[in-house]
Structure 1
Amino acid sequence: TGHEEILLPLLIPEHILGKETEHIRGFEDQVYWVTHGGLEPLDVKLALRPTSETSLTYMESLWIKSYKQLPKKYYQVVSIFRYETKATRALLRVREVSMFKEAHTVHESFEDSERQVKEALGIYRRFFDALGIPYLISRRPEWDKFAGAIYTIAFDTLMPDGKALQIGTVHNLGQNFTKVFEVRIQKRDQTIDYAWQTSYGISERVIATLVSIHGDSKGLRLPFKVAPIQVVIVPIPAGSDEQKKAVTERALQLAKVLKDAGLRTYVDLRDDVTPGEKFNFWEMKGVPVRLDLGPREVIQGFVTVFRRDLMERSKVAVGELVDYLKDLGLKIDEELSRKAWEALKSRVVRTDDISEAGEFLRKSYVVEIPWDGREDCAVKLSEDLEADALGIPMDEDTSWAREKSCVCGGKAYTVLRLAKKY
């Protein structure tokens, strides 16, 4: 996608972080400050990076001077720090986001920044689709957008406990940061103007989602496409020493064939663990496919293929194994994705009745209701229904709401999504 990897400093001087006033107001109660170097007070307080818009825009004011350098796309994978006042929860609400993948782009015009927003949405769609993670795309309400952005579009999913979880965001920053940091560019018509920016990011919440949505009572169930180990071979030595040797040799031969075919394969040769313990171990790890191989399989020229997602076994001839596994991998991913999407869609409802909306929310549904767009209406709904406003749907037609009345009274023109949220 043409993004260049960078690495910005962890510590941000107070005067740089606070330069965009709306931005710092959105983060000031969550910033960790470094005030001393050893025992000596610092002349300038340093913030542990809560996000990188300010530090990067400062650098862009030095780097970028002309439209000929644009568009510019950067990304980095870093730790960010937020002083969360709510109770922390592993991978979901943390004070150090240790694998924040943030992208930042610079553009000549608003129109080009809008194209970049669409590209970012497409990148995240493909990413979540590859993981089999279902999602809702919503334009966040004005009061809940990223501090300093023109608008924010968010990806949310619904966790097994019925709470919505934000798993990715895309922001059009407009010229809000480039104006305060004086990122001026010469345009094609030789005029001088401020550049336009976008930013977007995902975190380890995606891992939490993958574990929670696909997992079952036995452990992980990983999609074949992204599993670190796609196929694990478990030799089951039995009989004479010669038979045991033949089983091990066949396992290693099969592993080479599968690896040469591009399948990520591992042979479990541990001799201090029983086959049953190995089965439980790899099922817990979520490896999509397991091959069980004993003396009978060696003699008859087949393997027993165990499919983790459905807990089913099949017998497959050795000569057909590569094609069978590649096809099986596609089926596994399709099945995991299908079930996840069905679960999400079954818990999204539309209603224009406030009592019915409350009942659905108590049962952990996502509720879509006709809305007139007023903040005071949305705030009242959130308070009365004890739910959070996810925003306006961006992934479906909302014209149905125009035929309805807003639950706050008056005419509706759009839809507001509400859910219990982390």
Structure 2
Amino acid sequence: MGHGKAKRGIPSKTENFNEWYPFMVEAAELVDKRYPIKGMDVWRPYGWKTMKLIDALTHAEMERTNHEEVNFPLLIPENLLEKENALVARLKRAREEGVDPDELRDEVEEGGFKKEVYWVKHAGENDLDIPMFLRPTSETAMYTMFPLWIRSHKDLPLKIYQMVNTFRYETKQTRSFIRVREIHFFEAHTAHANEDDASLQIQEDLEIVDRLMHDLCLPIIKAKRPVWDTFPGAWYTIGIDAVMPNGRTLQVASCHHYRDQWAKAFDVTYENLEAKQTHCHQTTYGMSERLLGAVVGMHGDDNGLIMPPSIAPFQVVICPMIRKNLEVDTVAVAHDVADLLRKRGLRVKVDDRDLHPGQKYYDWEIKGVPLRLDIGPRDIAQGTAFAARRTGGKEPLPMDTIVDECYRVLDEISDELRSRASQHMDDVVQPLPTFNQKEGSWSMEGEVKDGHIYELAFDGSDADAEVIERMTGMSFLGDATEPYVKERP
């Protein structure tokens, strides 16, 4: 473990997470970072299978909540970005001046995603009359179409989503899944008759988040972002953060309430019950491949990944003993067991490579397969398969109830991952030391430590928040939607 290295040359997660993480995403064959454009990794089969399983959970939630899937073009004309920039600039000024955005007119000003977009300015040998850009997100593209789809109150609510790649010119240091230039992205966009209906949509989004994070075994912090960290063009933003092993937060999702500002900018109206044209109220909800980054970071250990069973490409790997002159065909038995498990809905891999068992175990530990079944002549004679959990622990499982036993063990592995992650968050999230203000000066009782997240009861002003940020050297996540510090004796 010395020098930040665990056994077998793997960096130690506990001693050097920043070295462990990039090593692991490549060692586990999730992505290959050697593509000749920075921040655009190549998804390898194992990583893409994992991401598609996360997508499948999201698709199921969208189906359950009556969202319809769409697919918009990648290219967006420049004039739509200018419209977005004008809206964002006006909302920014309204916040700064404390006035209603409707009191201000649109002005040409830098804002939104303009500094982050990739441009397409010629096709073949011809310059384009109107430059186009690759979508960083899809408000401008979608809201151009909304007025064509929404005519009356009967068309509401409109609830659509897409899973696409978005592009942002990220100038900071890139990191697989966490900060990339080509992003596997989920975005849901909705339009509603009024502000209250849009607010109910935000609550539904947060319930979806809870269900997804339960499946990923990730505890999260949900917080309404401060004004200065609100998504451009939003009335308010709720960020969803996972707590990484180093005590830092990673935003894995966000929900935005737009009120009617985007509708006014893009003329998204409907005819209400009184036959009057009324602007819609809109919301968005977004997630990305950061979800996979959070899973890697939170659940992995010094031996490799630990995949939650819900998204593991292989929930069970079966390793038959391969040796010459065996009296029983262990490989055939392994495939029979695999077929039985597959018929009951489990994702199974039989590793019948002619390799030393230790090499196989190493490969599947790195990839984080939740459950390994070893099958040898003695196991077959005893009517069992020997089970090894990726979270630790071994036991024989009876062959005659092998399917039910595998499901039981996988459920227990999920519970164990949730318990570990929740305990980590309990350890990291602490009450902030008391602040005192006297005669215009501030003091703090105690100290803050790196690797912790602090919670405090706060009803002060933005200026007060800036004082706290300056004194602690930390940034405000926002107003938590629920308390996270457990009562301590």
TM-score (structure 1 length as normaliser): 0.89
Mapped pair 1:67 → 2:153: yes
CA deviation after TM superposition for structure 1 residue 351, in Å = 2.5
Question: Which of 420, 424, 444 is matched with 1:339 structurally?
Answer: 420
3-state SS, counterpart of residue 92 of structure 1: coil
Structure 2 counterpart of 1:365, one-letter code: H
3-state SS, counterpart of residue 9 of structure 1: coil
Structure 1 counterpart of 2:79, one-letter code: H
- The answer to whether the Cα contact below 8 Å between 2:270 and 2:277 also exists between their aligned partners in 1 is yes
3-state SS, counterpart of residue 387 of structure 2: strand
Mapped pair 1:9 → 2:92: no
Could you tell me which runs of 5 or more consecutive residues in structure 1 were left unpaired when the two chains were aligned. Answer: 401-422
Aligned match of 2:465: 378
Aligned match of 2:223: 138
3-state SS, counterpart of residue 477 of structure 2: strand
Point out the more displaced range, 59-68 or 381-390: 381-390
CA deviation after TM superposition for structure 1 residue 353, in Å = 2.8
Distance between the aligned counterparts of 1:357 and 1:370, measured in 2? 15
Aligned match of 2:27: none
Going from structure 1 to structure 2, the CA distance change for 1:357 and 1:260 (only over 3 Å counts) comes to: farther
Q: Deviations over 1:17-42 (max 9, x none)?
A: 22132436132222222222334332
CA deviation after TM superposition for structure 1 residue 297, in Å = 1.0
Q: Deviations over 1:195-249 (max 9, x none)?
A: 1111011011110000110000111111122212111110002352543xx2112
Distance between the aligned counterparts of 1:57 and 1:225, measured in 2? 35
TM-score (structure 2 length as normaliser): 0.77
Instruction: Show the 5 A alignment for 1:89-238.
Output: 89-97=175-183, 99-238=184-323
Aligned match of 2:384: 302
Point out the more displaced range, 368-377 or 285-294: 368-377
CA deviation after TM superposition for structure 1 residue 358, in Å = 8.1
Structure 1 counterpart of 2:365, one-letter code: E
Q: Deviations over 1:99-120 (max 9, x none)?
A: 1011101111111111111001
Distance between the aligned counterparts of 1:385 and 1:81, measured in 2? 34
CA deviation after TM superposition for structure 1 residue 383, in Å = 3.4
- The answer to whether the Cα contact below 8 Å between 1:237 and 1:295 also exists between their aligned partners in 2 is no
- The answer to whether the Cα contact below 8 Å between 1:178 and 1:196 also exists between their aligned partners in 2 is yes
3-state SS, counterpart of residue 478 of structure 2: strand
- The answer to whether the Cα contact below 8 Å between 2:263 and 2:280 also exists between their aligned partners in 1 is yes
Distance between the aligned counterparts of 2:232 and 2:87, measured in 1? 6
Aligned match of 1:415: none
3-state SS, counterpart of residue 447 of structure 2: helix
Going from structure 1 to structure 2, the CA distance change for 1:173 and 1:22 (only over 3 Å counts) comes to: same
Aligned match of 1:359: 447
Aligned match of 1:391: 478
- The answer to whether the Cα contact below 8 Å between 2:322 and 2:352 also exists between their aligned partners in 1 is no
Distance between the aligned counterparts of 1:281 and 1:318, measured in 2? 25
Question: Which of 352, 360, 366 is matched with 1:284 structurally?
Answer: 366
Structure 2 counterpart of 1:270, one-letter code: R
Distance between the aligned counterparts of 1:357 and 1:83, measured in 2? 42
Aligned match of 1:316: 397
Q: Deviations over 1:367-394 (max 9, x none)?
A: 1234344222223332343222110111
Judging by fraction of residues, say which structure has more strand.
Answer: 1
Distance between the aligned counterparts of 1:179 and 1:258, measured in 2? 55
Distance between the aligned counterparts of 1:375 and 1:39, measured in 2? 52
Going from structure 1 to structure 2, the CA distance change for 1:9 and 1:373 (only over 3 Å counts) comes to: farther
3-state SS, counterpart of residue 94 of structure 1: coil
CA deviation after TM superposition for structure 1 residue 352, in Å = 4.4
Distance between the aligned counterparts of 2:145 and 2:160, measured in 1? 12
Distance between the aligned counterparts of 1:32 and 1:223, measured in 2? 35
- The answer to whether the Cα contact below 8 Å between 2:309 and 2:315 also exists between their aligned partners in 1 is yes
- The answer to whether the Cα contact below 8 Å between 2:326 and 2:377 also exists between their aligned partners in 1 is no
Q: Deviations over 1:323-375 (max 9, x none)?
A: 21111111110110011011012111112435768832x32111123434422
Aligned match of 2:333: 250
Question: Which of 133, 137, 143 is matched with 1:57 structurally?
Answer: 143
Going from structure 1 to structure 2, the CA distance change for 1:300 and 1:171 (only over 3 Å counts) comes to: same
Distance between the aligned counterparts of 1:334 and 1:46, measured in 2? 48
Going from structure 1 to structure 2, the CA distance change for 1:357 and 1:326 (only over 3 Å counts) comes to: farther
CA deviation after TM superposition for structure 1 residue 170, in Å = 0.4
- The answer to whether the Cα contact below 8 Å between 1:357 and 1:367 also exists between their aligned partners in 2 is no
3-state SS, counterpart of residue 263 of structure 1: coil
Distance between the aligned counterparts of 1:123 and 1:25, measured in 2? 30
- The answer to whether the Cα contact below 8 Å between 1:352 and 1:370 also exists between their aligned partners in 2 is no
- The answer to whether the Cα contact below 8 Å between 1:135 and 1:157 also exists between their aligned partners in 2 is yes
Structure 1 counterpart of 2:191, one-letter code: V
Structure 2 counterpart of 1:260, one-letter code: K
Structure 2 counterpart of 1:147, one-letter code: P
Could you tell me which runs of 5 or more consecutive residues in structure 2 were left unpaired when the two chains were aligned. Answer: 1-64, 89-109, 436-442
- The answer to whether the Cα contact below 8 Å between 2:161 and 2:188 also exists between their aligned partners in 1 is yes
Going from structure 1 to structure 2, the CA distance change for 1:259 and 1:56 (only over 3 Å counts) comes to: same
3-state SS, counterpart of residue 78 of structure 1: strand
Going from structure 1 to structure 2, the CA distance change for 1:52 and 1:234 (only over 3 Å counts) comes to: same
Going from structure 1 to structure 2, the CA distance change for 1:241 and 1:315 (only over 3 Å counts) comes to: closer
Q: Percent identity?
A: 39
3-state SS, counterpart of residue 343 of structure 1: helix
Distance between the aligned counterparts of 1:122 and 1:358, measured in 2? 37
- The answer to whether the Cα contact below 8 Å between 2:253 and 2:288 also exists between their aligned partners in 1 is yes
Going from structure 1 to structure 2, the CA distance change for 1:397 and 1:327 (only over 3 Å counts) comes to: closer
Question: Which of 274, 282, 286 is matched with 2:356 structurally?
Answer: 274
Going from structure 1 to structure 2, the CA distance change for 1:177 and 1:163 (only over 3 Å counts) comes to: same
Going from structure 1 to structure 2, the CA distance change for 1:373 and 1:41 (only over 3 Å counts) comes to: farther
CA deviation after TM superposition for structure 1 residue 7, in Å = 1.1
